[in-house]
Structure 1
Amino acid sequence: MEDRRSFLKKAGIVGSAFVLGLNPLMSTGKNSMVKIAIVGTGSRGKFLLNFLLSIQKENPFEITALCDNYTPNLTSGLKQCTEQGVDPATYSDFRKMIAEHELDGVVITTPLHTHAEIAVYAMKAGIHVMCEKAMARTLEDTKQMLDVQQATGKILLIGHQRTFNPKYIQAMAQIHAGKLGTIGQIKAYWHRNNDWRRKVPEGKPELEKQINWRLYREFSAGLFTELMTHQLQVANWALQASPVSVRASGSIRFWKDGREVEDNIAVIFSYADGTQFIYDSMTSNSLIGVEEQIMGSKGMMELESNRVFWEASEKKEHPSAIAQLSAQIKKGKAEPVMAGGSSWKLEEAAVKADLPILENASDDDGSALLMAGFIKFLQGEKFPLWLTYSAYEASAWTLLAEEAMLSGKTLSMPEKYQL
């Protein structure tokens, strides 16, 4: 365990050198043709496939095969490729696909509970992996993925696209340089008005759980694994640490439709230095949307909206209400003076300005750069292992947060799952 912790410190997970400047699109001159496959061509798979198809000319590689056990998804994924002049082989069994092709990498965008099986099989077959977040449905499977990565030395990149987003990289560089001062608290939220339910083909009720897997606890932890894991990774990244405990609550308040996962959650992660990460998410109101707020003694950053608010460098001291009244009496006049509550001592605004973290930041959330990065790693760019370790920490603590909610207890990570 000590060797791994030493590595983590060097890699930046708990140390100061967090490899912030890595740009996956900076070529080292290695531009070999690599072969990749997509396992899972549902909505997320097609979303990432679109980026891969768009960067093929600049980063030559071959989309060799597509795999999905749901025929409509496989058909639409193939159509997406053929429209761009790409003609991959198609499979319903990922094992057969791997047996019949010499692949360099696979992109896994299947339901959460299948991630570990596919990723472990691919890495043991000598194939590099990009897998959607969270890593797996259970702590045991999450740890297995990490252990197999360690044993095989294969790339295991998890789909936390914010680690490739330039505004997040810029924000972290400033945070780790101390620009925000001492971080006292991090708040994040992700609010939607969307029930996640998808239409099941008429006459095929047996497909309900396959299509609506996000709604059933056996296959998903809902808001925890589908959304929160992203923002927990951001909090850990900012603090260069992992939590030491978590407590949580949640319920099904609005969507009374047979689902098993919560439609609203509230979570508090505590860190060893006393910092708290406060998180909430819901699916029946979208007004405030999504944000991560990093709050320090010198300023606050809102990363999603690309804003930084610096604390006023010089706060003017205003005379108290009694001092104001005394001065007026001496001048022979008396005017009304507020003399209750916070009006006893006035202060100017707490911030100097609302400024961008990164000028001219792109609207892309980092997904395009994530996919381009994976291709570059396959072509020979050095893969920074902190990406795997930070994903493991976010995934494991996400699952522990769900357990804390279900148990009603404050929990710490069991030693067998600690890095």
Structure 2
Amino acid sequence: MRPDDSAIAHGAALSLPARRSFLRGLAASLAGSAFAAEMPWLSPLRAAPVGQAPSDRVRLGLIGIGSRGALLADHLFKTPGVEIAAVCDVHPSNLARAAAAADAAGQMARRFTDYRALLDLKGIDGVVIATPLHLHAPMALAAIAAGKHVFCEKSLARTIDDCKRVATAASRSPNVFQIGHQRMFDARFHKALSYMRAGELGPITQIRAYWHRNTDWRRASASPELERLVNWRLYREYSAGLMGELASHHLHVTNWIMDAPPLACVGYGSTNYWKDGREVFDNVNVLYRYPGGVTAIYDSLSSNRHHGMEVQVTGSKGTMELETGRMFWEELPHAPALTALARQVESGTPAARVPLASATWSPELKQSATGAPILANWEGDDGTGLSLAAYANAIRGSERAPGMIDHAYRSGVAALMGLAAMEEGREVAWPGNYPA
């Protein structure tokens, strides 16, 4: 069944428990179907409600409590059966804020400045890593070696070699490994993918994705010694810039839709606005080539937010805009005047009555239609809370999600391919899979 404007009349906005129930129902409805193979990571959401038994308790250590880590902590405090038993950060103010939040939530989390000491703590089931990108690989590898379950924020790692190392270690571990791509738990993206797989768009011919902001990404540091620690996103040693922080999300979605990584890419990047000593681009443009002749176009900038962010998937029958959750159907073009003339001549209509001077072309401007909702009643849950709930349930049930590591690897490597193409001025080919 295709999305329809009448879908918006199906009910009132869903509450958070209702949204969770909806996704559990979605996961259950897909069990045993061919489509279930597309999203096995949803299966932990079908788990029985969390009880009071000690076996239901999941104790986590949170490594990195900056802006993203603090958001994840807020979700975890609200996740049934989860205890944040330890927090770790090298920045004193981050550590103090996280510990205070844990105390307020009734969870007396121990404080650490060295993540290795946290990993040595007895009784920690898993960790959540939300540190700067260059630390993802060493921390994830150490956690895997320590026998911990791992939730690692995107992007997977700072280098392609490190992506391979982490993916290989995670695939060989019996424990849960999950990447922080919350769109894997966003109901709109699941629904959209089901329509694509059912052929509602026709053959997919192109994907366009963009993420535009108007911000310098710079944060105030208390002293010059803290500059690189606080503003790590601006330095190549620690960051992949816009490709790692933003593009990795949309490249993950593109790989998911195409069910394949890119074959190669080319691109241009520049620092044409924020000339403040940063080492990363503030303007990136990359073309990815996929199997079947499909091209994915990605661009991002940090000097203008007019267009915001979007993933546009186009096919012969229509276009889907996934971030806004809308579907636009293609319309048959109007016959030009010369075609109308031929038809009238064939039917015996006097040629004198045909307006030969009428326009045969009109500007092919963007459609002004509002489109139809891909998923009715969606109210802004981007999947972050559900992804953490699924991580906790996967630990609780010792359930590794098939495909999760592949998603992490493909998106992390695709982002780094684009960065290399811009920095080196050449076409960069897919470097191959990780050794499982």
TM score, norm. by length of structure 1:
0.88
Partner of 2:295: 276
Task: Indicate the residue corresponding to 1:253 in structure 2.
Answer: 272
Letter in 2 for 1:131: C
The one-character-per-residue Cα deviations of 1:234-263 (angstroms, maximum 9, x if unpaired) are 001111111100111100000010000000
1:323 alignment counterpart: 341
* Amino acid in the other structure paired with 1:195: D
Check whether the contact 1:321–1:339 (CA below 8 A) recurs between aligned residues.
Answer: no
Q: Which residue in 1 is equivalent to 2:180?
A: 159
Residue in 2 aligned with 1:207? 226
**Residues 211-230 of structure 1: matches in 2 within 5 Å?**
211-230=230-249
SS in 2 for 1:232: helix
Q: For each residue in 1:209-239, what CA deviation from the matched residue of structure 2 results, as whole angstroms up to 9, or x when unmatched? A: 0110000000001001000010000001111
| Residue 142 of structure 1, CA deviation | 1.1
Deviation digits for residues 267-289 of structure 1, max 9, x if unmatched? 00001210000000000000000
CA contact (8 A) 1:237 1:390 kept: yes
1:264 is displaced (CA, Å) by 0.3
Equivalent pairs, count: 396
AA matched with 1:275: V
Which of 47, 53, 73 is 1:27 aligned to? 47
User: Which range moved further: 93-102 or 137-146?
Assistant: 93-102
Matched, 1:109 2:130: yes
CA displacement, residues 87-123 of structure 1 (integer Å, 9 cap, x when unaligned): 1111111111221222111000011001111111111
Q: Distance in 1 between matches of 2:430 and 2:343?
A: 58
Q: 1:368, CA displacement in angstroms?
A: 1.1
Aligned to 1:7: none
Residue 3 (structure 1) aligns with: none
Whether 1:38 and 2:66 are equivalent positions in the alignment is: no
* Mapped partners of 1:352, 1:89: distance in 2: 54
Which of 71, 75, 80 in structure 2 is aligned with 1:47? Answer: 71
| 1:360 matches 2:362 | no
The Cα shift of 1:406 comes to: 1.0
Structure 1 gap segments, 5+ residues each: 1-14
CA contact (8 A) 1:317 1:347 kept: no
Residues 284/358 of structure 1: CA separation in 2 closer, same or farther (3 Å cut): same
Structure 2 Cα separation of the partners of residues 383 and 29 of structure 1: 19
Where does residue 391 of structure 2 map in the other structure? 374
Match of residue 244, structure 1, among 258, 263, 283: 263
In 2, the alpha carbon distance for the partners of 1:195 and 1:401 equals: 21
Structure 2 residue aligned with 1:137? 158
SS at match of 1:388: helix
CA distance in structure 2 between the partners assigned to 1:320 and 1:418 by the alignment = 60
The one-character-per-residue Cα deviations of 1:140-198 (angstroms, maximum 9, x if unpaired) are: 11111111112222221110000000111111111122221100000000000011100
Please say if residues 133 and 238 of structure 2, whose CA atoms lie closer than 8 Å, have aligned partners that are also in contact: yes
Structure 1 contact 249–265 (Cα < 8 Å) conserved? yes
Measure, in 1, the Cα distance between the counterparts of 2:330 and 2:367: 6
User: Is residue 178 from structure 1 mapped to residue 195 from structure 2 by the alignment?
Assistant: no
Using the alignment, how far apart are the partners of 1:385 and 1:417 within structure 2?
15
TM-score (ref. length: structure 2):
0.84
Shift of 1:416: 6.8
State which of 310, 314, 331 in structure 2 corresponds to 1:295: 314
Percentage of matched positions with identical amino acids: 38
Give the match for residue 6 of structure 1.
Answer: none
Aligned in 2, Cα 1:179/1:339: closer, same or farther, shift over 3 Å? closer
Consecutive unaligned residues of structure 2, counting only runs of 5 or more, are 1-34
347-356 or 404-413, which moves further after superposition?
347-356
Indicate how the Cα distance of structure 1 residues 255 and 352 shifts in structure 2: closer, same or farther if over 3 A, else same: closer
Q: Which moved further from structure 2: 349-358 or 320-329?
A: 320-329
State whether residues 183 and 189 of structure 2, in contact with CA within 8 Å, keep that contact through their aligned partners in structure 1: yes
Aligned-residue CA RMSD in angstroms?
2.8
Letter in 2 for 1:330: P
Find the aligned partners of 1:42 and 1:111 in 2 and give their Cα distance. 9
* Matched AA of 1:80: A
Q: Which residue type is aligned with residue 44 of structure 1?
A: R
Mapped to 2, the partners of 1:331 and 1:192 lie a distance apart of 56
Question: Following TM superposition, by how much is the alpha carbon of 1:61 offset from its aligned partner in structure 2, in angstroms?
Answer: 2.3
